[in-house]
Structure 1
């Protein structure tokens, strides 16, 4: 969630810089902003992705019955495919919903007129909802007792 909020704030700063320098209608011109502004969001995303992958792999390896361990690891890998499919669907739906009425879509071809910041805020909201659902289900989940030597 923090990573998405940081991305939204940086995108808002980029759009503000484009507006201040009169570059809104010049999509091929470089915005006078350092590439290093992207470092925080990518560093946070990399750390979050590492913890997510390790946590998912450990969960599916540890909580699936021994006889179904290979199926559990397959489920673990299928999550990435389902996530990619759902993200493509989400982008398509939002693009269609925000481009009506002759307005620019959030994903306009001109990034200076697009509103990726709105999309990031929307994703942050979805992530908060997903976190609430995770906490709810995690509290009611009965963990398999593992005997490790």
Structure 2
């Protein structure tokens, strides 16, 4: 169970690396084509560049979410089994709020001094690639912390019927 969750977290980290690389390539393509000041123009780049990151995000979601639900259902005390799924969803909810706070903090920090934010509406002037690199670094840190804690976790023994 924990291996599945860890694999999902690792896939999420790899997805952010892929997204950062693709966004960096998209920015270079926009610059090379002279489209930096034309945010509505189409960048000459195939949509297939997005495939690896979406495949990795899908794998991360499947492995992480299913593993988390299975873990909470299996490892909570029998008396609380009915709330195992609720606990699992609560973890995802906390993550959603944390991501909103992170986006707001990075937008605020990078728009200081009157400059363009990394998360600007004009993607050709923004630096979404930097944001993805930060997410990849945070995800890598989370994987290391998870592995450290998971190695010390003792599974609840199931009684044989």
Unmatched segments (≥5 aa) in structure 2: 1-12
Instruction: Choose which of 67, 72, 95 in structure 2 pairs with 1:83.
Output: 95
Instruction: Choose which of 78, 94, 107 in structure 1 pairs with 2:106.
Output: 94
Instruction: Choose which of 142, 145, 149 in structure 1 pairs with 2:157.
Output: 145
Task: Tell me which residue corresponds to 1:127.
Answer: 139
TM-score by length of 1: 0.96
Q: Separation in 1 of the partners of 2:115 and 2:158?
A: 56
SS in structure 2 at match of 1:9: helix
Give me the CA root mean square deviation. Answer: 1.1
Task: Tell me which residue corresponds to 2:3.
Answer: none
SS in structure 2 at match of 1:129: helix
Residues 34 and 64 (structure 1), Cα distance of their counterparts in 2 relative to 1, 3 Å cut: same
Q: Separation in 1 of the partners of 2:27 and 2:87?
A: 40
Task: Tell me which residue corresponds to 1:69.
Answer: 81
Q: Separation in 2 of the partners of 1:117 and 1:23?
A: 17
Residues 144 and 30 (structure 1), Cα distance of their counterparts in 2 relative to 1, 3 Å cut: same
TM-score by length of 2: 0.89
Structure 1 residue ranges (4+ consecutive) displaced by more than 2 angstroms after TM superposition: none
SS in structure 2 at match of 1:31: coil
